[in-house]
Structure 1
């Protein structure tokens, strides 16, 4: 069963898309803002994303740009009420794979989804396996290994580690990690990032060695595949 993430802030349309896709045999999940979409797409393996252009928090274009920057190659179908050629070009240049203007007919939506889902799944999976040093992550299997040893992580721990491992050496601020992994939930504070980094260190690091998740004072965190010492 193919998993589809629907990113649409118009509640009625989101429910309708979800219902139609469920009737067609897809497993669907719906979010209504860009930050939540980014967090879910980075944390869980989806076979296809349906992303509206105009979204709260982050617009659809920025969501797609950040996913592509993180080397996520999941197919993306962009929905928008914009009809100018320049808008279509912008969406495709940002990394969307197809473009469907609103209003649309559901038979066309389903046809475009079928076309995008014909991507070879083995190729997609190979491309999404992440490695940095002796740490390997497989987002499809939601699995992590260090030196071939399997490490069990929670969904949040996995999403946080995947964000860091995708860009080894890049410094991520706490606010960026918070937005990426936890979305825009008002109940979550930046110190939760420090807490989850400590969880990851306990599971990844070995006694007497430097942590692969390095604290950059005054900035944030970075993943160092080959820490000295």
Structure 2
């Protein structure tokens, strides 16, 4: 059972989401405004937030940004009727992990929720520590460090970086990354992947400059996918605590 926050001002949609998600044994809190959502997030922890962007009081993208600051570890999924690609990208850059465009089927939403709550990286051993240059990815502790300093990553950013690090130097297709980091039954846009890659690049570049570190880069392979390119080092995998 997960704790879910539904932020939706449409009474019909909100009632349906609340009742159906509770029927799946989730604990659900339904808020109808952005301010209500921020109050709820400040008072309790949630595993996942379903956030409508078209709220009556505060712009949904701004609510998303504030929610990410309040609960950095939760999954944020935007629900939007907006068709403009820039609105979606702004939401993802504000801290959302994913989005669904209205209207959507409940089965698709439920599959997406399950994919996000899974939060696993299947390939590395459960207790693996993967080193690429000055970057260390500890999958058991779900921590990334640079020269002993922790790199602040959102849940899916960690999963994506861990997946790339497992096969550093190897070209991974977009489909492989979506299947492994999100879910094999994923039916959403791969724009989510691109935004997460961009965020990781920014954080790695900032960490390299701030701490004078030698870090890997994420190379775009047009028409194929991505590759984590180490700074001349082969990835080293060792049991945690070694």
- Quote how far apart the aligned CAs of 1:73 are: 2.4
CA distance in 1, matches of 2:12, 2:69: 31
The answer for the alignment partner of 2:80 in structure 1 is: 80
C-alpha distance in structure 2 between counterparts of 1:25 and 1:69, whole Å: 27
Which residue is equivalent to 1:200? Answer: none
Answering whether residue 53 of structure 2 is matched by residue 45 of structure 1, we say no
Q: Map 1:118-129 onto structure 2 (within 5 A).
A: 118-119=118-119
Question: Deviation of residue 126 (structure 1)?
Answer: 8.7
Q: What residue in structure 2 maps to residue 113 of structure 1?
A: 113
| 1:32 and 2:18 are equivalent in the alignment | no
Note the C-alpha offset of 1:69. 3.2
Q: Please tell me whether the aligned partners of residues 41 and 70 of structure 2 are also in contact (alpha carbons under 8 angstroms).
A: no
Cα distance in 2, alignment partners of residues 77 and 92 from structure 1 = 9
| CA distance in 1: counterparts of 2:65 and 2:46, whole angstroms | 17
Task: Spell out, residue by residue over 1:93-152, the C-alpha distance to the aligned partner (whole angstroms, 9 max, x if none).
Answer: 1110000000001111001111111126xx9x999xxxxxxxxxxxxxxxxxxxxxxxxx
Unaligned runs of 5+ in 2: 121-138, 144-242
Secondary structure at 1:96 match in 2: coil
Task: Tell whether 2:28 aligns with 1:13.
Answer: no
1:60 CA drift (Å) = 1.7
Give the TM-score of the pair, scaled to structure 2.
Answer: 0.48
CA shift for structure 1 position 86: 1.4
Task: Report runs of 4+ in structure 1 exceeding 4 Å deviation.
Answer: none
Residue equivalent to 1:161: none
Count of aligned residue pairs for this structure pair: 124
Which residue number in structure 1 is paired with residue 188 of structure 2? none
Matches within 5 A, 1:153-164: none
Deviations 1:37-59 (A, max 9, x none): 01111210111100000112212
Provide the secondary structure at the position in 2 that maps to 1:117: helix
Answer yes or no: is the 8 Å Cα contact 2:9–2:55 preserved in 1.
yes
**Aligned ranges for residues 1-229 of structure 1 at < 5 Å?**
1-70=1-70, 72-119=72-119
Shift of 1:71: 5.6
